[in-house]
Structure formats: structure tokens, C-alpha cells
């Protein structure tokens, strides 16, 4: 059997062609529209997983507050270096935004060992006083999202937006439900077990594109 390849495309046209294919395979009326569809489509583009449409959920203020925070030059905190690396400086620098992952900072590593907890938990502790007005993107560690929910319940500074997408089988789904049920901070989430650093980064990238277009 011979595989018929499509013509060669440049990087920009590959993305545009991919989005066009996704649009054609999710006919209108779609479960999301406007900016929400722009984000949902980018998440499908990242994974080729159309089932995500059954699990993505947006707080009504999520996109507006997220875009505004990026346009104000906020810090984006990630729970993994993979997510940090997936948010390119070419999008962040024009907005005046920094991307920070504290996972490997020596004091965070030491605190995790001392307290016998995860580094993601310790990193959230280290970031907690600096989260006001930020975007927090969690794509891997349920312990980070749980700790963030605890901080918010205790009255700690609140981010402008939380991208709540930890992935896996141990407390991934449960951490999302805990967060949704204990805080009114704007969020974009993928309910259930699905998620990942690539999806968290893709969400921030989609918001950054909107912020730059404005």
C-alpha cells in the first residue's frame, strides 16, 4: 500500500492547514465558539485528540482575565520545565511577560526533601506570595493544584487565571474537582484524567496570540 503524502508546507502553513482540518472535522454548531474555540482547537492541534472537546471547561471570565493579565506583563508560573519550555519567549517578551518554573530552585528542592512532599508542592509554597495577577499553568502535578487550592482557601494572593490541567491517575481528576469546588478564580481546565504540560503550554500560547493581536 502506497501512502500519498500531501505537498510540502512551511511551518506557518502547516499550522494553518492543521487548523483548517480541525475546523472541517468539527462541524458547526461547535461546542465552543469564538476565542473559546481558538483555544479548544489549539489543544486538539497539540494532541490530535478530539475527545478533549468533551472535557474542556472555561470559567466565564477566563479568557478576558487571562488576556488582560498577559497584556499587563504578568508572570506565568508553570509546574514543570516542559511547560515553561513550551511557552516561547517570542510570544512572551513583546508582552513584557516572564515565565517561571521554581521546581529546580535549590530552596524548593530542599523544602521538598525536608517536608517529604513533592517539589511541585514546595514550588507552589515558594510562589504563593507572588501569584497576584499571574497566570498559573499546571499540566503535570496534581499536588501543585491541590496546594494552590489550599492557599486560595486561606486567603493567599490569587492569580488572574489558572490553567488547571494535571494529567494522570493519582489525584489528577480529583485535584481539578477540588479546585473548581473551592475557589472562584477564573480557570481553563480539562476535567478528568487528561491533561499534560504540552496542553497547559498550548493554552497559554493561545491566550498570548490573542493578547498580541489586541
Contact 95, 71 (CB under 8 A): yes
CA-closest candidate to residue 143, choices 112, 175, 113, 183: 175
Own/partner pairs, 102-109, CB within 8 angstroms, 24+ separation = 102/77, 102/126, 102/127, 103/79
Catalytic positions, please?
45
Contact 135, 72 (CB under 8 A): no
Query: Using CA of residue 186, residue 130, residue 191, residue 52, what is the dihedral sign?
Result: positive
Contact 183, 40 (CB under 8 A): no
Interatomic CA distance for residues 146 and 172, integer angstroms: 10
Q: Which residues contact 178 (CB under 8 A, 6 or more apart)?
A: 145, 146, 149
CA-closest candidate to residue 180, choices 190, 170, 193, 168: 190
Amino acid at each position: 500500500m502506497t501512502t500519498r503524502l500531501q505537498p510540502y508546507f512551511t511551518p506557518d502553513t502547516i499550522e494553518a492547514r492543521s487548523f483548517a482540518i480541525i475546523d472541517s472535522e468539527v462541524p458547526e454548531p461547535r461546542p465552543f465558539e469564538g476565542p473559546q474555540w481558538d483555544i479548544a482547537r489549539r489543544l486538539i492541534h497539540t494532541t490530535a485528540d478530539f475527545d478533549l472537546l468533551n472535557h474542556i471547561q472555561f470559567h466565564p471570565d477566563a479568557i478576558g482575565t487571562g488576556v488582560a493579565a498577559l497584556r499587563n506583563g504578568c508572570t506565568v508560573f508553570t509546574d514543570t520545565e516542559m511547560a515553561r519550555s513550551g511557552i516561547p519567549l517570542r510570544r512572551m517578551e513583546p508582552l513584557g511577560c516572564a515565565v517561571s518554573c521554581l521546581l529546580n530552585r535549590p530552596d524548593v528542592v530542599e523544602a521538598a526533601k525536608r517536608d517529604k512532599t513533592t517539589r511541585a508542592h514546595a514550588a507552589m509554597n515558594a510562589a504563593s506570595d507572588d501569584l497576584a495577577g499571574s497566570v498559573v499553568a499546571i499540566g503535570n502535578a496534581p499536588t501543585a493544584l491541590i496546594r494552590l487550592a489550599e492557599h486560595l482557601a486561606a486567603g493567599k494572593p490569587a492569580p488572574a487565571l489558572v490553567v488547571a490541567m494535571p494529567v494522570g491517575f493519582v489525584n489528577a481528576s480529583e485535584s481539578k474537582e477540588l479546585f473548581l469546588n473551592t475557589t472562584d478564580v477564573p480557570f481553563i481546565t480539562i476535567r478528568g484524567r487528561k491533561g499534560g504540560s504540552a496542553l497547559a503550554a498550548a493554552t497559554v500560547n493561545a491566550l498570548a496570540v490573542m493578547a498580541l493581536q489586541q
